[in-house]
Copies of this chain bind each other. A is one copy, B any other.
Amino acid sequence: MSDASQAFRVPRDELERFMLAVLARAGADALSAEAVTRALVTASRMGTDSHGLRLLPHYIHALKGGRISGAPEMHFERRLPATGYLDAGDGFGHLAGYTAMEHAAAMADEVGVGAVAVGRSSHFGAAGCYALAAAERGLLGLAVCNSDPFVLLHQGSRPFHGTNPIAFAAPVEGENPFLLDMATSSIPWNRVQQYGAIGRELPDQVAADSAGGVTRIPAEVAALLPLGGSDFGFKGAGLGGMVEVLSSTLSGMLHGFRLLPMGGPDMTTPRGVGHFFLALRPDAFAPGDPFPEGMRRYLEDLRAQPGRGSARVMAPGDREWGCRARRDAEGIPLDSANQRAYAELAETLNVPALQPVV
């Protein structure tokens, strides 16, 4: 969806103002509201619209239902010098994520690596937010999370893993970080719905019908295929499994197949989502700290590669940083569905409506 088609755009600080107010009115404490706002605005600025402002109404619903605690007692225990466990107290996954990565980063500062498993958490938005938080501190960051089952196993016929994302970020001196943030399916579930709504066929090898056979017809889709499709989906499914092992088994949570559905109808019972975060100090490996210069040379070579036809080759994150600059200048777009949802939030929670760029 191109920004140009969306006339309603809001400045970043106005979006932040609105989100903070709405979250506070719905019962979130200051730390929770700030973390959710930070994550959603980060995603929306970068163009990750599936995990940006679109999710606010869902979170408010879960908060009001009681599934998510707006004033959680989060408890961090450092178990060993490089590891820890965060009990997120059924609070917002965004607060859990930023908190856990902060602990991982502090351990990395001290011993070179920090790894934190998080239990009793909830949906944390875009995994990239937390990897990015590490990179903004000069660290390599990895963030993974399980989610409810939409994706087939390789040669399976029933959804088992979630879209279980992997986010990895690395700092680049004087530039925006290297940032990979990917689901281990080819497409997200809401892409199926979007294509269905406009009567468009899906790409090949991304979705399956109820028997596990590949289909390109949105109405027939019962599950997503793992990245790699029917021939090479053992790779996407294996990566999804790695994410599952790191996020639910280390934290002692239920694995994705047994999670309560994100979409409800039960909005009262905490879901017990698990996450995993890793931070690494890049100067704690080879002597002489070759990392900054190595990243520079690598990205220079990468960006100089010739594209196919008129395409331009980009590093992971380049598209997102371009979008962020554009949206910081022009405002963040809301499509008509989001405009309606935000107007409703303003009315229901008695918060001044979102003011667009004029």
Residues of A bordering B, CB below 8 Å: 77, 79-85, 110-117, 119, 140, 152-158, 160, 166, 168, 170, 178, 180, 182, 186-187, 203-206, 208, 211-213, 227-229, 231-232, 234-239, 241-242, 244-246, 248-253, 255, 257-258, 278, 280-282, 284-288, 290-291, 294-295, 297-298, 301-302, 305-309, 311-316
Write out the residue numbers on chain B whose beta carbons fall within 8 Å of the beta carbon of A156: 305-308, 311, 313
As for how many copies of this chain the complex holds, the number is 2
Contact B242 A306 (CB under 8 A): no
Contact A112 B115 (CB under 8 A): yes
Contact B287 A255 (CB under 8 A): no
Partner of A111, one of B80, B153, B307: B80
If the complex has contacts A153-B313, A156-B313, A158-B306, are A112 and B249 also in contact, measured as CB distance less than 8 A? Answer: no
Contact A248 B307 (CB under 8 A): no
Q: Could you write out 8 A-B pairs with CB less than 8 Å apart? A: A79-B284, A83-B111, A156-B307, A213-B308, A248-B294, A250-B291, A252-B290, A258-B301
Contact B82 A113 (CB under 8 A): yes
Contact B158 A305 (CB under 8 A): yes
Write out the residue numbers on chain B whose beta carbons fall within 8 Å of the beta carbon of A205: 205, 229
A interface SS class = mixed
Min Cβ gap A118→B in Å is 9
Write out the residue numbers on chain B whose beta carbons fall within 8 Å of the beta carbon of A154: 313-314
How far is A77 from B287 in the complex, measured between Cα atoms in Å? 9
Write out the residue numbers on chain B whose beta carbons fall within 8 Å of the beta carbon of A119: 286
Min Cβ gap A279→B in Å is 10
If the complex has contacts A241-B180, A245-B170, A308-B157, are A252 and B288 also in contact, measured as CB distance less than 8 A? Answer: yes
Contact A85 B287 (CB under 8 A): yes
Min Cβ gap A166→B in Å is 8
Closest to A212 in B: B308
If the complex has contacts A79-B284, A280-B115, A307-B157, are A290 and B249 also in contact, measured as CB distance less than 8 A? Answer: yes
Contact A85 B153 (CB under 8 A): no
If the complex has contacts A211-B308, A250-B291, are A245 and B298 also in contact, measured as CB distance less than 8 A? Answer: yes
Write out the residue numbers on chain B whose beta carbons fall within 8 Å of the beta carbon of A248: 294, 298
Contact B242 A168 (CB under 8 A): yes
Write out the residue numbers on chain B whose beta carbons fall within 8 Å of the beta carbon of A302: 153, 160, 241, 257
Contact B186 A286 (CB under 8 A): no
Write out the residue numbers on chain B whose beta carbons fall within 8 Å of the beta carbon of A313: 153-156
How far is A237 from B178 in the complex, measured between Cα atoms in Å? 13
Partner of A228, one of B152, B227, B241, B286: B227
Partner of A305, one of B160, B294, B315: B160
Partner of A117, one of B110, B250, B285, B306: B285
Contact A249 B157 (CB under 8 A): no
Q: Which 5 A-B pairs have the closest CB atoms?
A: A252-B290, A83-B112, A212-B308, A80-B112, A249-B294
Write out the residue numbers on chain B whose beta carbons fall within 8 Å of the beta carbon of A204: 204
Write out the residue numbers on chain B whose beta carbons fall within 8 Å of the beta carbon of A81: 81-82, 111-112
Write out the residue numbers on chain B whose beta carbons fall within 8 Å of the beta carbon of A245: 140, 168, 170, 178, 295, 298
Write out the residue numbers on chain B whose beta carbons fall within 8 Å of the beta carbon of A253: 294
